[in-house]
Amino acid sequence: MVKRFLLIFAVLALVVAACGGTTTETEQADDDAAATQQAQTDGEDGGDNETPPPATGGSGDDAELTLNDFIPGFDPTAFEEQDWRAQELQAQQMVAECMAAEGFEYIPFVPSDIGGGFGYDDWDEETYVKEYGFGIATWVLEEENFMYDEESDPWANDPNQDIVDAMDDAEREEYYRLLHGSEPEIIQDTPWEEIEAMTPEEQEAFYDEAYANWEPDGCFNEAYETLWGSGEADAFYQEFGDDLDAFYERAQSDPRIVESQNEWSSCMADKGHDYANEQEMYSYFYGDEYGVGEFQQRVDEIVTWPEPDPSLWEDLEEGEEPDFDPSLFGPQYDIELLQPLIDEEIAVATANYECSQDMYELWEEIYKDLERQFIEQNMDRLLAFKEANS
């Protein structure tokens, strides 16, 4: 529960608050605003003005302060107003210039699904969980959605595919390395057999060390960082991230959080599912950082993948595709064995959805309260950060 709680609120603190999360007004905030207004007035009259201006809410003069108000240049409406196709075309043109500088041709291409199609407002979580649960055992029910269909593939007409197909293996490898970047050297230089032989704890330490000071490269990364780099947001997290983590971690003992988890557990038990908390439920289905969940293991025992027949690729000309039935390579399973797991998953996911709605609403209220407290306790630092980074 703690990890899930921290994840929800750490993300909310830095991003989601801009989409509606606010703090309640406090006398301290009002006093700070009044004092700063007076200082600004004094400055206009020729007096000394050493007090930085306060952060103001992004929704107007009456908006209440959020952490995002202290990130210079942050615009909560930018995401809604963004022309994604135009932005992607700009990125593609930058990628083409980058690749050309490396001696490769890349043709700017924007697939048809960018800037349209499925949106968050179309998402209906309740409908999904009642049909597909968590998407573990049930994903085979969506198998048809994953079958390749060239007519609906937004990348089918990518002109760069012809360029890649004309390359030899070594040239193609270098092309993709320059285009998408490479992994840290220690990962590239370590044989996969060695990594696979590590314990989960050793693998975690290995990858933590490998990525600790690694900077992504490649033309795509360079273009996207230039256009959408987090900049000030990264600087904000560097300055306040540890404090925020510690602040929200202490919230795990908040009586309201503890009680909400107890109520969730009781609600789930009433529906026939015995879990002490959400973390226990998610560990059962998804596992944790050290292993696959028990439920996933049960699914893997039933759903298998056949070994492809090597003869399908024999005597093919270069670039020629084998003629075979794609279903031969799909998942194989006995639906009579899988159906009980599907039923269990949907039942638990539906119960979780029904039992968690009030809890999440409460957590949002608690987050707003915690955000207000953090701003009050760190107002001087927050104002100084905004002034220094404006």
Sign of CA dihedral 47, 52, 58, 59: negative
How large is the C-alpha radius of gyration of the chain?
26
How far is 178 from 15, CA to CA, in rounded Å? 31
How high is the pLDDT of residue 50? 41
How far is 28 from 51, CA to CA, in rounded Å? 16
How high is the pLDDT of residue 370? 86
- CA nearest neighbour of 265 among 257, 255, 275, 256: 275
Helix (H) or strand (E) holding 288: strand 287-288
How high is the pLDDT of residue 8? 37
How far is 246 from 108, CA to CA, in rounded Å? 45
362, 260 Cβ separation under 8 angstroms: yes
How high is the pLDDT of residue 315? 67
Distance between terminal CA atoms of the chain?
Answer: 37
Phi-psi region of 282 (alpha: psi -120 to 50; beta: other; left: phi over 0): alpha
Sign of CA dihedral 384, 386, 389, 390: negative
Other CB atoms closer than 10 Å to residue 224's CB: what's the count?
17
How high is the pLDDT of residue 329? 64
How far is 363 from 366, CA to CA, in rounded Å? 5
The whole-angstrom distance between residue 12's C-alpha and the CA centroid of its chain comes to: 12
Helix (H) or strand (E) holding 292: strand 291-292
Phi then psi for residue 105, to 5 deg, are -90, 135
List for the chain the helix, strand, coil content (%; round to 5).
65, 0, 35
Q: Tell me which amino acid residue 166 is.
A: A
How high is the pLDDT of residue 272? 96
pLDDT 10s digits, 366-377? 888 888 888 999
At residue 291, the 3 state secondary structure works out as strand
Exposure b/e, 158-180, CB count within 10 A at least 16 = b = eebeebeeeeeeeeeeebeebbe
How high is the pLDDT of residue 123? 56
pLDDT 10s digits, 208-255? 899 888 888 999 999 988 877 666 677 888 888 888 888 878 777 788
158, 111 Cβ separation under 8 angstroms: yes
How high is the pLDDT of residue 246? 84
Beta bridge partners, 292, equal 287
How far is 253 from 118, CA to CA, in rounded Å? 39
Q: Tell me which amino acid residue 77 is.
A: T
How far is 238 from 14, CA to CA, in rounded Å? 12
List the chain residues with pLDDT less than 50.
1-62, 116-122
Tokens 């927050």 belong to which residue? 382
Helix (H) or strand (E) holding 309: none
Phi then psi for residue 289, to 5 deg, are -65, -10
Tokens 């968590």 belong to which residue? 134
Give me the chain's average pLDDT, please.
Answer: 76
- The pair of three-digit structure tokens given for residue 260, joined into one six-digit string: 């909400």
The whole-angstrom distance between residue 386's C-alpha and the CA centroid of its chain comes to: 26
The whole-angstrom distance between residue 141's C-alpha and the CA centroid of its chain comes to: 25
Is the pTM higher than 0.75?
Answer: no
